[in-house]
Every structure is written in C-alpha cells, then in structure tokens.
Amino acid sequence: MLCTRSSLPARSMSSKATMRRSFWTRSKRRSDILHRLFQKHWVLCGFAIVIAIATAVYFAIDTVQNPYRPSFDDPDPAVRADAIRRSSCCHTDSRFFELAKDENADVRILAADLLGGEGPRAERRAIALARLLEDVQLGVRRQAALSLGSIGADAWPHVRNALIHTSLRVRIAAILSLNFRFLDKVQWPLQLAKEIVPVLEQLAREDIDDDVRRYAKETAESLRGNYQLFPRFPD
C-alpha cells in the first residue's frame, strides 16, 4: 500500500517520540546500573574517593611545604644549589628527582645527598641514585653511592644490578654503597646481609679488575665480621 502525504508527518512524529522514549529508557537503565553498582560496592567506591583526595592533598603539601622551589628553575646553578641546601628540611620534595639530572655537577651532588636516607619513596629514590652511579663526575658517583647505601633494604636490588654493570666505575661505586652502610653503622637486615655477602665474594673471585676484587673482598669480610657470618672469606 502506498503512503499518502498526510500519513508521512504522523509517522515522522511517531518515530521521533519512539527515539525519545528509547533515549530516556537507556539513560534510566544506566542510572539504575550505576546505582546498583554503588550499592553493591560502596566500600570500594568510598575507598577510591578517599585515595583520590589523599593523593591530591599529598601533592599539594609537597608543593607548599618547600618555599625554595621557585629557585630550582633559576638559570644560575649557584642559585639552584643554594635552594637545595636550604631545602634540607623538605626531604621528600619530588623536584629532587629532576635536579639529580641537572647539567651542573654540584647541583647533582646536592640532590643526590637529599635523595638518600630511609623513608618514603625509597624505591623511586634508589632508582634515581643508581643512575647517578654512572655519572661522569667522581664526586657525583661518590655521593650517589653514599645516599644509595643509606636507603636500606629497598636499595639492594639496584645495588646488586650495579655490581654486575659493564662499567668498572659503576661496580666500584656499588661496592662503596655497601661499605658506607657498614661504616655509618646503619645495619642491613640480617637476612639481607646473608644474601649480600655471597654476591660480594663471587665478585671478589671472578671480576676482571683488581680494584673491584679487592674492594669486594674487604666489604664482604667487613660484613661477615659485623654480623658474625663465619667462616670468613678464605685467603
């Protein structure tokens, strides 16, 4: 049967009404699904909201608590270095990770100093300091080793990787980081010390460099004596 002209507007209006009803039906279904989901998982939803708020507050405090932050972007490295020295109370400032990559060696040394120590963000700080063990400047490598050793157990996986690095100076710096832990009288956990000593002893036997072998042997013996892990390294 052919459609007449008078029937076309009615059909068009009917189609629009159907589309509107379909739209509102779908919207209501979505709303009902979200409502039921929230009722069923209200604990998880509430926890997610709390985490989001806590994260926002944390980063806000991180920015506000260090008044010397604006000077970190100063073109003069002396100003940047002075700002880091004055920021010693703000140990967890996230900008120190960026400053550890600064073009100026003094700035990198100061940033490495503040990245050390036990506390929050230990894993991230250990990664940043392990990279600095490859620095071209001896002073930067030394400070990175000192700070890396002061982090504690979280630093060991990165120190262990550095002990087998292809670069001689990285391996030596990694050994020094273990020595610093001993000399500063900050104790490794006993179980971790039992893992560290065999790695050093293997390095003392197999490394191709005389200095690496000597430093590794001395550090292994120091740790064995400190923790009474006998027998000592054989002569």
The pLDDT tens digits of the residues spanning 111-142 come to 999 999 888 888 999 999 999 999 999 999 99
Whether residues 46 and 155 share a domain: the answer is no
- Residue 83, pLDDT > 80, answer yes
pLDDT at residue 160, as a whole number: 94
On average, the pLDDT of the chain sits at: 78
For residue 212, what are the contacts with CB-CB under 8 A and spacing of at least 6? 168, 171, 172, 175, 203
The pLDDT assigned to 130 comes to 95
Kindly state whether residues 64 and 143 are assigned to the same domain. Answer: no
pLDDT band at 89 (very low <50, low <70, confident <90, very high): low
Range of 78's domain? 74-227
Asked whether residue 57 falls in the same domain as residue 153, the answer is no
Tell me the HSE value of 18 on the side-chain side, using a 13 A CA sphere.
6
Task: Based on the fold, state whether residues 56 and 111 are members of the same structural domain.
Answer: no
Residue 17 confidence (pLDDT)? 57
Q: What is the pTM of this model?
A: 0.67
Q: Please name the residue that has the structure tokens 């279904």.
A: 29
Q: Are 103 and 219 in the same domain?
A: yes
User: Domain total for the chain?
Assistant: 2
Please, which pLDDT band fits residue 31 given cuts at 50, 70 and 90? low
Residue 171 in domain: yes
Residues in the chain: 235
Q: pLDDT class for 233, splitting at 50, 70, 90?
A: very low
Q: What is the mean pLDDT of residues 22-34?
A: 61
Cα separation, 219 vs 198, whole angstroms = 11
The whole-number average pLDDT for the span 183-199 is 76
Q: How far apart are CA 153 and CA 163, in angstroms?
A: 16
